[in-house]
Chain A
Amino acid sequence: MLEIRNLCKTFAKGTVNEHAALRSVSLTVADDDFITILGSNGAGKSTLFGAIAGTFYADEGEIILDGRDISNLPEHKRARVIGTLFQDPMKGTAPGMTIEENLSLACNQSSRFPLARAVQKRDLAKFRENLARFEMGLEDRMKMKVGLLSGGQRQALTLLMATIAKPHLLLLDEHTAALDPATAEKVMGITVKIVKEQRIPTMMITHNMGQALSVGNRTIMMDAGQVILDISGQERQMMTVPKLMTMYSGARGKELDNDRMLLSQ
Chain B
Amino acid sequence: MSLTMFLGGLQEGLFYALLAMGVYISFRILNTPDLTTEGSYTLGVAVSAVLTVAGHPVLGLLCAFLAGAMAGSVTGILQTKVGIHPILAGILTMSGLYTVNTAVMGGKPDVTLTKTTIFNRLYEAFDINLAAFNRDRQAFTMAKEITVLIVAAVLAGAVLLLLVWFFRTHIGLCIRATGNNEAMVRSSSINAGGMKILGLAIANGCTGLAGGVMTQSGGFATISNGAGVLVVGLASVIIGEVIVGKRSVTLGFISAILGSVMYQCLIRLATSMNVFPAYYLKLISAVIVAAALALPAVRENLQRSRKGGRRHA
Contacts and interface: CB of A to CB of B under 8 A. Distances in A.
Nearest to A112: B170
A109 B188 contact: yes
A247 interface: no
Contact of B184 (A75, A93, A110): A93
Interface in A108-134: 109-110, 112-119
Interface in B169-211: 169-174, 176-177, 180-181, 183-192
A94 B171 contact: no
A207 interface: no
21 contacts: A53-B187, A55-B187, A76-B188, A76-B189, A79-B187, A91-B187, A92-B187, A93-B181, A94-B181, A94-B185, A95-B180, A96-B176, A96-B181, A97-B180, A105-B177, A105-B188, A106-B188, A113-B170, A115-B169, A118-B170, A118-B173
Given A55-B187, A115-B166, 7 more contacts: A80-B189, A94-B181, A101-B176, A104-B170, A109-B188, A118-B172, A118-B173
B45 to A, nearest CB: 30
B187 A75 contact: yes
Contacts of B189: 76-77, 79-80, 109-110
Contacts of A90: 181
Contact of A94 (B166, B168, B172, B176): B176
Contacts, number: 76
Counting chain A residues whose Cβ lies within 8 A of the other chain, the interface size class is 20 to 34
A141 B183 CA distance: 24
A91 B180 contact: no
Interface class of chain B by DSSP? helix
Nearest to A119: B168
A226 interface: no
Contacts of A113: 170
Contact of A97 (B171, B176, B183, B190): B176
Contacts of B191: 76
A84 interface: yes
Interface in B126-172: 166, 168-172
A91 B280 CA distance: 44
Interface string A189-230: 000000000000000000000000000000000000000000
Contacts of B170: 104, 112-118
Contacts of B169: 114-118
Interface of B: 166, 168-174, 176-177, 180-181, 183-192
B177 A97 contact: yes
B298 to A, nearest CB: 22
A101 B173 contact: yes
Contacts of A76: 186, 188-192
Contacts of A97: 173, 176-177, 180
A93 B172 CA distance: 16
Given A92-B184, A94-B176, A96-B180, A118 B190 contact: no
A91 to B, nearest CB: 5
A250 B278 CA distance: 81
B174 A115 contact: no
A117 B186 CA distance: 23
Contacts of B187: 53, 55, 75, 79, 84, 86, 91-92
A170 B177 CA distance: 22
Contact of B177 (A55, A79, A84, A94): A94
A247 B172 CA distance: 52
A53 B189 CA distance: 11
B171 A115 contact: yes
A109 B183 CA distance: 17
A109 B172 CA distance: 13
A155 B189 CA distance: 18
A203 B189 CA distance: 19
